Chains A and B, each alone.
Chain A
């Protein structure tokens, strides 16, 4: 297939976000300190345009097509994830502007890097070639390292970035090594379709299996699943709070997109019911460990950001249950994972948005005790936080409830997965305890210090938006479930499940 310009229409959303990122970098050079709000608006505008472009591609992407020499796949799963990434970036931009201004480290490149990271995530979700997957993951990760460490005056920010960078680079080594083994043992295949065609034979080769596991290790490092979760608490705690939200929502969603595509289709087709390679059983163990460890560790945290970091590890565990369900060939499991990703994205962005807004300059208020009395001092903010925390815990009528419901319902279709579902439900119950601790502190304890903060319209807009999204996903999940269904079905059809 040769290259022609018409194929560029497939990557219009990517061009918009990266082009806008470049524009912001240029504008930053000329920006005076007061003009930085304009840069945030530019970033926001880019996200809106990209979202429109993604929506415009939806109808045409009903059937899977591959463009750009087999590098870029167009299907509804990729577009569904794209829309999630763009929304993540937009909300991050809304939250981060006021946060950076308040804490005195605003710089325009932040918005540019957020957009570049979004472009990287799009490459991951659209990748149909190992090389594109690598470039996408590295673009996203590099941007995430920078976002973590961009708060120069905060030592924890640098510490988190350093840990994330060193371990992330090591994980990338595994990814590349695994890709090399797969490339070698399939006789030079790098496209997903090519690998899938030979995977059934290749899985007799122990080198191929080792390659698959190396890729798996790198990807579950990126989603922070046990035992590759060590970086997450320090990184999530140290990063500027809006960047934490961006990583916990966006980067994780991108990595799950890659896992769904690689392990849902390439290494999970009918020729491979998970058995020759056996990754399903291993991933099931990882899922249980991740859920349990994340929740047990979160129980003991006094720092809210750290607690949510462990909670985010636990959520990776729930999502892995869905991936295992995909692996054993349950129809509809992909859609459940995708829907869960959407609810988790909005909830996470909201929760970190609230944390970013509760603190103020020189006083970040990251401990549960600092939040006492928030319910009377700032009732709207406390209400939003309660909605997000209930959603994280999976309590109806929030989006988090339906996310878990669809996920576990999908897994329930196979009796082999009952232990996973039981572990998941028990863990959800445990998690409600530490989420409610914050709620109790907000409503039933008196403030020890005055709870004031900086006024910000864009912060308010972001929180209202995410809170409404979470409630609507809980009350009327139908439309999004349908979209996720369309997206998941597209993948299932390809995999022949």
Chain B
């Protein structure tokens, strides 16, 4: 690790990384602490930009551009639209109730952060296990090389992600079904239940009128 530091990462790079990483974290903190949703969303844009900078400093230029186009661009615009359409000055707090719970949460989070920090600080003393990393090739991070690895080595995950996205899209549609579709399903069920109560032997049913009344009540 030490070797790696001295060999390939100079002081300017370290400073750049510190600035970008700091901006990322600050943006993230603002995102979750601001009560005004617009401010929170803008902070998230800042985080995404800083993250794109981190990618760029790691020679992943194509990824950096995608990060800005897709996340800081398209997705954030959507976020802002949603916030504007909802048009709520202040989102009601849904955080943990009570001082005790919140205190416990802070203690737990602080412990994890402290643990991680000590692990990271400690890690420079232990060897990097794969041996010293080689310099990235000249075409590293270009569109061509990303495309090549996407469609050769990572062909199957690439296809599998499409299933993941399909589930996400269909799931989004399902949980945001319109009232009308709900009503249709409801109506079908009601009609079915009526047919069933007519067919069902009376011994099985606690009185057909009773059942129908229930369905009517549930429907209205």
Q: Show the binding face of A for B, using Cβ within 8 Å.
A: 2-3, 18, 22, 25, 33-34, 68-69, 71-72, 100-107, 109-110, 112-113, 116-117, 119-120, 123, 129, 131-132, 135-136, 138-139, 142-143, 145-146, 149-150, 152-153, 161, 185-189, 198, 201-202, 204-210, 360-363, 449-450, 452, 454-455
Contact = CB atoms under 8 A, between A and B. Distances in A.
Interface string B186-198: 1111101100100
6 contacts: A104-B185, A110-B174, A161-B175, A188-B133, A361-B214, A363-B214
A207 B119 contact: yes
Contacts of B131: 187
Given A104-B190, A185-B129, A205-B127, A3 B185 contact: no
B184 interface: yes
Given A113-B171, A198-B130, A452-B206, A33 B163 contact: no
A327 B209 CA distance: 61
B155 interface: yes
B153 A142 contact: no
Interface in B51-104: none
Nearest to A185: B129
Nearest to B120: A207
Interface string B96-118: 00000000000000000001100
Given A132-B156, A204-B127, A208-B129, A455 B196 contact: yes
B129 to A, nearest CB: 4
B167 A116 contact: yes
Given A102-B189, A152-B182, A450 B206 contact: yes
Contact of A152 (B123, B168, B177): B177
B34 interface: no
Nearest to A363: B214
A76 B215 CA distance: 49
A150 B173 CA distance: 10
B205 A101 contact: no
A43 to B, nearest CB: 14
A123 B126 contact: no
A116 B123 contact: no
Contacts of B211: 360, 452
Contact of A145 (B127, B171, B185, B188): B171
Contacts of A131: 154, 157
B188 A113 contact: no
Nearest to A135: B160
B39 interface: no
Q: Binding site of B, secondary structure by majority: helix, strand, loop or mixed?
A: helix
B181 interface: yes
B130 A186 contact: yes
A3 B155 contact: yes
Contact of B189 (A103, A116, A138, A455): A103
Interface of B: 115-116, 119-120, 122-123, 126-131, 133, 152-157, 160-161, 163-164, 166-168, 170-171, 173-175, 177, 181-182, 184-190, 192-193, 196, 200, 204-206, 211, 214-215, 217-219
Given A188-B130, A205-B129, A455-B200, A69 B163 contact: no
B4 to A, nearest CB: 11
B157 A106 contact: no
Contacts of B218: 104, 361-362
B185 A119 contact: no
A187 B128 contact: yes
A185 B128 contact: yes
Contacts of B188: 33-34, 101, 104, 106
Given A113-B171, A187-B128, A18 B163 contact: yes
A112 B153 CA distance: 29
A146 B167 contact: yes
Given A71-B156, A131-B157, A139 B129 contact: no
A208 B188 CA distance: 56
B157 A202 contact: no
Contacts of A449: 206
A198 B129 contact: yes
A187 B128 CA distance: 7
B170 A109 contact: yes
A139 B196 CA distance: 38
User: Sorted from nearest, which 6 A-B pairs have the closest CB atoms?
Assistant: A187-B130, A104-B189, A450-B206, A146-B171, A33-B188, A362-B218
Contacts of A100: 185
Contacts of B177: 107, 152
Contact of A135 (B116, B126, B161, B205): B161
B170 A129 contact: no
Nearest to A199: B129
B128 A102 contact: no
A452 B205 contact: yes
Given A113-B171, A207-B126, 12 more contacts: A2-B152, A18-B163, A34-B188, A104-B189, A106-B185, A112-B170, A120-B164, A135-B161, A136-B160, A139-B163, A204-B129, A452-B211
A149 B175 CA distance: 7
Contact of A123 (B133, B152, B160, B181): B160
Contacts of B155: 3, 68-69
Contact of B174 (A69, A102, A109, A450): A109
A100 B115 CA distance: 48
A69 B175 contact: no
B217 A362 contact: yes
A126 B164 CA distance: 16
